[in-house]
Amino acid sequence: MPLTDLSLADCRDYRPPLPVPADFDAFWSRTLAGTGDGPAWKPVFAEVDTGLTQIRTYDVTVPGFAGQPVRGWLRMPVGAREPLGCVVEFLGYGRGRGLAHENLLWAAAGHAHLIMDTRGQGWSAAGGDTADPDAGAAGAVPGFVTRGIESPETYYYRRLFTDAVRCVEAVRGHPGIDPDRIVVTGVSQGGGIALAVSGLVPGLAGVMPDVPFLCDFPRATEISGRPPFTEIAEYLRLHRDRTEAVFSTLSYFDAALHATRATAPALFSVAMMDEICPPSTCFAAYNGYAGPKDVRVYAFNGHEGGAEYQQREQLAWVRELFAGPPSGRAGHS
């Protein structure tokens, strides 16, 4: 496919004036401080038998937004020295957490790995096991980008970003994981969530967003040729009088804006022929990212990005990041 966005040189200079709600930080402080009257219970890590002899797998349930249960898998290498560094992974649009024996890369590399299920999603892969009780108002275009978009309070990604923060908190409290060596990552939607977490959770060891979604909503909605950003354009084509209100809501959830609050080192990836998450929107997040950062650019790839080539980069990057001694917290048997 041909280039459909800015050149790489222009992308590297692209810094859009993202609107910042006056109460942006207060909104998120209030959201994370208390999101309802859900049950006060702790994360559950229940070991399951997968038939794998070198990796321990746990079926995880974390109290997410309003205490609603969020599922996941935690995988840890057998016999590894603890406490371990942990990679927390968020999923792409439509994906579920998968089956218990899948996604072994990070545990095979010697790290703990939590993969978070995505509430209400999971239609494009097996293992979507987390419901979304707060479905938002009726009339949303099919998908999740317009679910509850009438208000920041009801928007779908308020719940999803909170779930992600709670999952990071859950692994930080796990006795076999070093709370000072937590890296968050994800592809597409997962990359956008990782960027949101980078701005909402202090003290992360690293952030690895790949071809991130949810960045620079105003431009993405205008130039994206394929879903999910097109869901917003379809919504506004129907609701012609809601443009200002919709972009006001979206400003609270723009991953490029959250990135301006980040402090942890980051390794990005961007694909220059990406029609789903246009490269300029990804660079909006990268250029504004406030912590130390680096980027791998895949000049002739679409939304698949670097795939296994980027995984190779990430394995080396995380190994170096985790090379220091653990924080000293005792492990568990």
Active site residue 303: yes
Catalytic residue among 129, 163, 188, 216: 188
Strands (E), 84-176: 84-90, 112-116
- Answer yes or no: are the C-beta atoms of 216 and 247 closer than 8 Å: no
Catalytic residue among 111, 178, 274, 280: 274
Secondary structure letter of residue 29 according to DSSP: H
Amino acid letter at 310?
Q
CA max distance for the chain? 60
Catalytic residue among 113, 174, 258, 303: 303
Active site residue 29: no
First and final C-alpha spacing in the chain = 52
Active site residue 274: yes
Q: How far apart are CA 256 and CA 14, in angstroms?
A: 12
Hey, is 179 helix, strand or coil? Answer: strand
The answer to whether the Cα torsion of 184, 280, 18, 94 is positive or negative is negative
Pair type for strands 69-77 and 55-63: antiparallel
Active site residues: 188, 274, 303
